[in-house]
Amino acid sequence: MKKTSTPIKNDLWTYRKKMEFSQKRAAYLMGLRGTNTLSRYEHGKKLPSLINALKLEIVYRTPVAFLFSGLYDRLKKEVKDREEKLGFGKDKKSEKRKKSPRIKNDLFTYRKKMGLPQRRVAYLMGLKGTNSLSRYEHGKKLPSLENALRLEIIYHVPVAFLFGELYEELKREIRKREGEVKS
């Protein structure tokens, strides 16, 4: 969880209310011990890990990019600015990315299908080198929520599809808790 000095605009409270969930119920479904962490997320005081962001997506049945629309918009502008700086924002490869099929869970395979060099993706993400991206692609490290959203922007694929196996595992875990709540 990343602490933030300035609140990060998000719509967590709104989506929780639309689901008619109390903080206690939403926190339980996510597997949190109490409501403090969820409260900090809702007030923009902490940015959740990728795992907790995916749990929020599952619990609220809303894509991460919508739950954290302010962050997503800022990151989208950041990536687009880098694309323009490199001068490839409107080339054929960019168009190809928009029309490409969705990936289940393999960042490396998806990047190769798109014909994007690792160095270019790392630059668009704002990384200093390719080491972190390589670790993400090989499953050795999960990206932060910010980097996962950057990957969504670059590949034009929702985070839940980029990390499909993890998403499905978290979904089963939450559905099990939902069953416990109903019992």
Q: What is the pLDDT of residues 64-101, one digit of tens each?
A: 999 999 999 999 999 999 988 887 655 555 444 444 33
Q: Output Rg (C-alpha) for the chain, integer angstroms.
A: 17
Task: pLDDT band for 5, please (50, 70, 90 cuts).
Answer: low
Task: pLDDT band for 183, please (50, 70, 90 cuts).
Answer: low
CA distance 111 to 124: 13
Beta-bridged to residue 138, according to DSSP, are none
List of domains in the chain: 2-69+166-182 (1.10.260.40), 72-164 (1.10.260.40)
- In this predicted structure, the answer to whether residue 14 has a pLDDT above a threshold of 60 is yes
Task: pLDDT band for 126, please (50, 70, 90 cuts).
Answer: very high
Structure token pair of residue 127:
């990384």
CA distance 9 to 28: 23
Burial class (CB in 10 A: 0-12, 13-18, 19+), 162: buried
CA dihedral 149, 61, 48, 135 (to 10 degrees): -50
pTM, two decimals, is 0.80
Residues in Cβ contact with 175 at an 8 Å cutoff, skipping those fewer than 6 apart: none
For the chain, give the percent of residues with pLDDT over 70: 86
Residues in Cβ contact with 39 at an 8 Å cutoff, skipping those fewer than 6 apart: 23
Helix (H) or strand (E) holding 108: helix 107-114
Q: Which of 67, 85, 89 is nearest to 10 (CA)?
A: 67
Lowest mean pLDDT among 28-37, 96-105, 108-117, 156-165: 96-105
CA distance 146 to 168: 21
pLDDT the model gives residue 139: 82
Lowest mean pLDDT among 9-18, 46-55, 74-83, 90-99: 90-99
pLDDT the model gives residue 24: 97
Residue range 11-23: mean pLDDT, rounded:
95
